[in-house]
């Protein structure tokens, strides 16, 4: 009997179609191979003679417990048979790909390192995209925040702001916005990319649906957003109150101390979660199910559709929380959340609570969503290419 070349066998094991006798009553063993020999033992079997011979007891291969007769594959074994643990008369090596080997668990340091690279690969392009977005569309964000605070229509807010200082009025708070915007978007995109990479590194979490994975990412982003509250407070009050905003904030800090910079932190965190989750759930879902394209124009169009859809859904879900957050954050005196809600409802009713600035917000964030998603995907592709990472799908 001639065995196949062992050089084709795996270094850790060789599969033989011989099955332990004690399992002969189990029908499973009738159609499956069992890993019985390692590479060294497989090589020892190559010493088998091509004609019927008997091994001395001192030279038996491992696993053979008594003297056995072996004949060529073309001849009948007749009275000769292999000793236990074999139940079949013919031995043969099977291709190594038939062997299923459990995946070795990665070290947590390797998992975190890879997730960190994914986070940077998503966060840095997101940060750059947001910087461009702030410079080009801040006038719309200022209009939205003014509506959140005072409850006027888009046209009225726009006219009021323009009369208050012209074009420059729309860019009050630009410096803190250029800090807060990119950093907050870095946290959002890094949390999404890093969390997905981390969860996909373990068998127990790799098969979770996209909704649960995004839920974890949103919680991470919401926590990160609290760290940016002082910058966000400065930017928002300057947008709402104009040139009087920063002096009003300084006076508020003198009265209440540094904690006033974190007024609205709970609402800001909630708004981030309520906004982040539907945005990235929509993004991840559409990105997973919409067809992929290789040519640039259709890829950009695909990204634009995903970005606008994600922004519209996110804004509708989070608008009421942002109204409360902005009103509390820009109040000249300390005010509780219930008092903020009561004040808004007394002035504009439930429509004001859920709909203040919503149309402007959808228009603003729709344009920003398109711009951000297109720039972000281009940035991710460039980052992956320049760092040798796997291309973003």
Domain ranges of the chain: 6-98, 108-387
Does the domain made of 108-387 have the CATH classification 1.50.40.10?
yes
Q: How far is CA 330 from its chain centroid?
A: 34
Tokens representing 83?
């000793």
Selection from 181, 195, 171, 283 nearest residue 225 by Cα: 181
Instruction: Provide the 10 A C-beta neighbour count for residue 335.
Output: 14
Top pLDDT among 38 and 176 is at 176
The CA angle 46-50-52, to the nearest 5 degrees, is 115
Tokens representing 112?
């975190």
How sure is the predictor about 338, in pLDDT bands with cuts at 50, 70 and 90? Answer: very high
Entry pTM? 0.54
The arithmetic mean of pLDDT across residues 300-313, rounded, is: 87
Ranking 38-42, 137-141, 198-202 by mean pLDDT, the lowest is 38-42
How sure is the predictor about 198, in pLDDT bands with cuts at 50, 70 and 90? Answer: confident
Selection from 185, 205, 211, 190 nearest residue 284 by Cα: 211
Dump strand ranges (E) for the chain: 14-16, 34-37, 53-54, 69-70
> In angstroms, rounded to a whole number, what is the distance separating the alpha carbons of residues 377 and 379?
5
Selection from 205, 215, 324 nearest residue 271 by Cα: 324
pLDDT of residue 69: 43
Is residue 182's pLDDT more than 90? no
Top pLDDT among 349 and 198 is at 349
How sure is the predictor about 161, in pLDDT bands with cuts at 50, 70 and 90? Answer: very high
Beta bridge partners of residue 265, listed in sequence order:
none
The arithmetic mean of pLDDT across residues 188-215, rounded, is: 81
């Amino acid at each position: 009997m001639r065995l196949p070349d062992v050089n084709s066998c795996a270094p850790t094991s060789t599969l033989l179609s011989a099955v332990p006798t004690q399992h002969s009553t189990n029908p499973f063993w009738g159609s499956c191979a069992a890993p019985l020999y390692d590479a060294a033992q497989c090589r020892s079997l190559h010493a088998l003679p091509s004609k019927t011979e008997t091994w001395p007891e001192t030279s038996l291969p491992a696993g053979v417990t008594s003297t056995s007769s072996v004949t060529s594959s073309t001849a009948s074994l007749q009275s000769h048979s292999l000793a236990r643990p074999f139940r079949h008369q013919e031995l043969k090596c099977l291709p190594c790909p038939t062997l299923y080997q459990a995946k070795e668990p990665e070290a947590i340091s390797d998992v975190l390192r890879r997730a960190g690279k994914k986070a940077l690969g998503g966060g840095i392009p997101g940060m750059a995209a947001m910087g461009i977005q702030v410079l080009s569309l801040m006038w719309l964000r200022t209009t939205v925040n003014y509506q959140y605070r005072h409850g006027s229509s888009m046209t009225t807010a726009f006219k009021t702001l323009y009369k208050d200082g012209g074009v420059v009025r729309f860019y009050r708070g630009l410096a803190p916005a250029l800090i807060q915007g990119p950093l907050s978007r870095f946290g959002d995109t890094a949390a999404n990319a890093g969390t997905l990479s981390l969860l996909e590194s373990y068998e127990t979490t790799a098969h979770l649906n996209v909704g649960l994975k995004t839920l974890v990412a949103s919680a991470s982003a919401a926590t990160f957003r609290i760290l940016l509250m002082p910058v966000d407070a400065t930017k928002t009050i300057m947008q709402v109150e104009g040139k009087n905003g920063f002096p009003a904030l300084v006076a508020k800090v003198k009265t209440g101390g540094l904690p006033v910079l974190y007024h609205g932190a709970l609402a800001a965190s909630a708004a981030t979660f309520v906004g982040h989750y539907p945005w990235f759930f929509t993004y991840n879902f559409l990105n997973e199910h919409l067809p992929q394209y290789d040519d640039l124009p259709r890829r950009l169009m695909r990204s634009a559709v995903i970005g606008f859809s994600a922004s519209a859904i996110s804004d509708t879900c989070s608008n009421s929380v942002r109204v409360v957050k902005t009103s509390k954050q820009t109040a000249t005196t300390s005010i509780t959340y219930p008092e903020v809600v009561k004040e808004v409802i007394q002035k504009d009713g439930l429509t004001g609570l859920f709909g203040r600035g919503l149309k402007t917000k959808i228009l603003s964030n729709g344009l920003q969503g398109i711009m951000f998603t297109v720039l972000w995907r281009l940035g991710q592709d460039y980052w992956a290419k320049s760092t040798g990472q796997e291309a973003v799908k």
